[in-house]
Amino acid sequence: MLALYLTLSLIHITRSQLGSNSKFFNKIRSHTPKPKNAALVKLCDSCGSKYGGGAGGMCGEIDEQCFKSLCITMCLQKTWDCEIKISGGPSGLEAQVADPRTQMALCSQFKAYGCAKHIEACPFPDKKQDWLWQWADQRTYGGYFPTPILPAEACMHDPEDKELSKKLCSDCKASVTLKELDCPFVNPPSNDDGKDLTKSQVPLNPQAFADADEKASEQIPAHKSYLARCEAVKKIFKAKKGKMEADFKKKTCSCLGCCDEDPSCYFSSTENAVETLDEYK
C-alpha cells in the first residue's frame, strides 16, 4: 500500500509539470475581475466615477491592469511573507519543512489562499482552473520530479493505518508566522499632495490642462500609485494577520501529508481538475 501511495504521488507531481509556461502566462493576461474587497476596488477607478460610470475601452484596460497589480504584485509578492516551523512529528520532518523548497511550496499555498479568501485581492478559483490555481500549482508541485516536496517524505505512510495517521498528525506541531514587508515603491512628489497617499494624483504640469481649457483634476486618472496600492493591501493584511495565521496553522500538517486523509493543501494539482477556461468576462 505504501509503495502504491508513493507511486501515485510521483505520477501526480509529474503530470502537474506538463502544462506549458506560455499557457500559464496567457491565462494571467486574460480578463481579471475586480477584487471582492471594496476598499481595493476604489484604488482602481481610473475613469468610471468621474465620467458617469460605465468605463470601457482604455479606462477598462487601465482598471484591469490595476486589479492585476493588487493581486499579483502587491498581495502575492510585495506586502507579506510567511515562515513555517515544525516542532514535532516523525524523524526528519522538521529539517524537511525548514528546507527553502518546502517553505516556498507551503507559503505559495498560504499566500494564494490568503490573498483570495482573507484579503480578497485575488479572484478565488471557485473550483475552476485559472491562473491563480496554476500560480500555486507551479510553486508547490512543479520542478521537483522525481522527489515531490509535498507531501513531505517524512510524513508518507500507509493511509489505511488510521492509528499511525492519527499519531503522526497529533505529533506534528506547526507554527506559522506571517510578517509584513516594506513596500519597495516610491511615490514621486507629483503623484500626491505630500500628505495623503490616498488622494488623487496631482499633474506634473497643470498649466497644460489650463491652456486646453480643462480642469486638471477632472482629467487625471483617479487610480493610485503603486506605493498607495501596496500600503492599502498591507493595511488589510495587518488586520487579517491573526486569523490567517490560525487558519494556516491548522492546515500545515494536513498539507504535509501527516494526517489521516489524503494530503490536503488549499490547492491540489491542476491535473486533478477538469480544465476550463477563465469565465470572468
pLDDT in tens, 97-124: 999 999 999 999 999 999 999 999 998 8
pLDDT at 28: 45
Instruction: Please report whether residue 176 resides in a domain.
Output: yes
Instruction: Please report whether residue 281 resides in a domain.
Output: no
Element (H, E) at 248: helix 226-256
257 HSE (CA, 13 A, CB side): 22
1-15, 171-185, 197-211, 250-264: segment of lowest average pLDDT: 1-15
Q: How many other β-carbons are positioned within 10 Å of the β-carbon of residue 37?
A: 17
Beta bridge partners of 86: 174
State yes or no: pLDDT of 277 exceeds 70. Answer: no
Distances (CA, A) of 265 to 119, 172, 281: 19, 15, 28
- pLDDT band (50, 70, 90) for residue 63: confident
Specify whether the CB–CB gap between 183 and 78 falls below 8 A. yes
Specify whether the CB–CB gap between 131 and 27 falls below 8 A. yes
Instruction: Please report whether residue 30 resides in a domain.
Output: yes
Q: What does the pLDDT average to over 150-160?
A: 87
Q: How many helical (H) and strand (E) elements, i.e. helices and strands, does the chain have?
A: 11, 2
The count of domains in the chain is 1
Amino acid at 259: C
154-168, 177-191, 208-222, 244-258: segment of lowest average pLDDT: 208-222
Element (H, E) at 84: strand 80-86
pLDDT at 280: 36
Instruction: Please report whether residue 203 resides in a domain.
Output: no
pLDDT at 90: 92
| Percent of the residues in the chain that have a pLDDT greater than 90, as a whole number | 40
Specify whether the CB–CB gap between 141 and 148 falls below 8 A. yes
Instruction: Please report whether residue 213 resides in a domain.
Output: no
pLDDT at 51: 45
Instruction: Please report whether residue 93 resides in a domain.
Output: yes
Element (H, E) at 85: strand 80-86
- pLDDT band (50, 70, 90) for residue 162: confident
Contacts of 65 (CB under 8 A, 6+ apart): none
- pLDDT band (50, 70, 90) for residue 207: confident
3-class DSSP state for residue 82? Answer: strand
Q: How many residues does the chain have?
A: 281
1-5, 51-55, 70-74, 225-229: segment of lowest average pLDDT: 1-5
Residue 262 grid coordinates? 489524503
pLDDT digits (tens, 9 = 90+) for 209-253: 777 777 766 666 667 889 999 999 999 999 999 999 999 999 999
Specify whether the CB–CB gap between 170 and 70 falls below 8 A. no
- pLDDT band (50, 70, 90) for residue 52: very low
Instruction: Please report whether residue 219 resides in a domain.
Output: no
Specify whether the CB–CB gap between 111 and 197 falls below 8 A. no
Distances (CA, A) of 97 to 161, 172, 194: 23, 11, 45
Q: Are strands 174-180 and 80-86 parallel, antiparallel or unpaired?
A: antiparallel
pLDDT at 217: 65
CA 268/CA 281 separation, integer angstroms: 25
Cis peptide before 146 (omega within 30 of 0): yes
State yes or no: pLDDT of 14 exceeds 90. Answer: no
Task: Identify the residue with better confidence: 71 or 206.
Answer: 71
State yes or no: pLDDT of 149 exceeds 80. Answer: yes
Residue 92 grid coordinates? 526528519
pLDDT at 263: 54
- pLDDT band (50, 70, 90) for residue 7: very low
Instruction: Please report whether residue 197 resides in a domain.
Output: no
Domain hosting 113: range is: 8-18+25-47+56-185+225-272
CA 115/CA 37 separation, integer angstroms: 11
